[in-house]
Structure 1
Amino acid sequence: MSRVCQITGKKAMVGNHVSHANNKTKRRFHINLMKKRFYVPSEDKWVTLNVCAQGLKTINKIGIEEALERSKKEGLIK
């Protein structure tokens, strides 16, 4: 599975390591991705999602059911 947040759609970004001598080499900025289980009361079941820290804040703010609905609409979850 790719390292993409299933709520926000965030992915790793690409940038450069910059040394003291100003040499540049490619690197990746990974997101803070975690595997979490959430209880969905309307379906009476547990759902496991890969979410980043911002995704957890979104779920806390709008609720798991609304977050799942939005991510299905955007095509992040099947």
Structure 2
Amino acid sequence: MSRRCELTGKGVQTGNLVSHSNRKTRTRFLPNLVNVTLASDALARSVRLRVSAAALRSVEHRGGLDGFLVKARDTELSDDARALKREIVKKLATATA
């Protein structure tokens, strides 16, 4: 399981810890990932995803999982999230037609 957000693509960053004496030590900065179950209104089911805390706030801000995925770029999404987005877009298209 990679340390990457399934919705935003945020991953591990590398950098230096710099001491008072200006010595540099390489380190890894890990994203704040949480396992969450999000409800999809269009699909009428719940989906388990591993997302960052910042992405979770963005999902709530955009009005839920459906609203977030419809506006998200495909390049940022994981394979599972991309398939979920296709399902939601297809379901919303048949509902409006």
The answer to whether the superposition gives a TM-score over 0.5 is yes
Matches of 1:42 and 1:10, distance apart in 2: 26
Identity of aligned residues (%): 35
> Looking at both structures, which has the greater relative contact order when contacts are Cα pairs under 8 Å and sequence separation is at least 6?
1
TM-fit CA distance, 1:66: 2.3
The answer to whether the 8 A contact 1:16-1:24 is kept is: yes
TM normalised by structure 1 equals 0.83
| Unaligned runs of at least 5 residues, structure 1 | none
The answer to whether the 8 A contact 1:33-1:51 is kept is: yes
1:57 aligns with: 57
Report which of the two structures shows the higher radius of gyration computed on alpha carbons: 2
Runs of 4+ in 1 over 2 A off after TM superposition: 68-75
Normalized per residue, which structure has more helix?
Answer: 2
2:23 aligns with: 23
The answer to whether the 8 A contact 1:9-1:76 is kept is: yes
Matches of 1:17 and 1:72, distance apart in 2: 33
Change in Cα spacing, 1:29 to 1:59, as seen in structure 2 (3 Å) is same
Normalized per residue, which structure has more strand?
Answer: 1
Aligned residues: CA RMSD: 1.7
2:85 aligns with: none
The answer to whether the 8 A contact 1:6-1:51 is kept is: yes
| Unaligned runs of at least 5 residues, structure 2 | 80-97
TM normalised by structure 2 equals 0.69
TM-fit CA distance, 1:6: 1.3
TM-fit CA distance, 1:75: 5.2
TM-fit CA distance, 1:57: 1.2
How many residues align structurally? 78
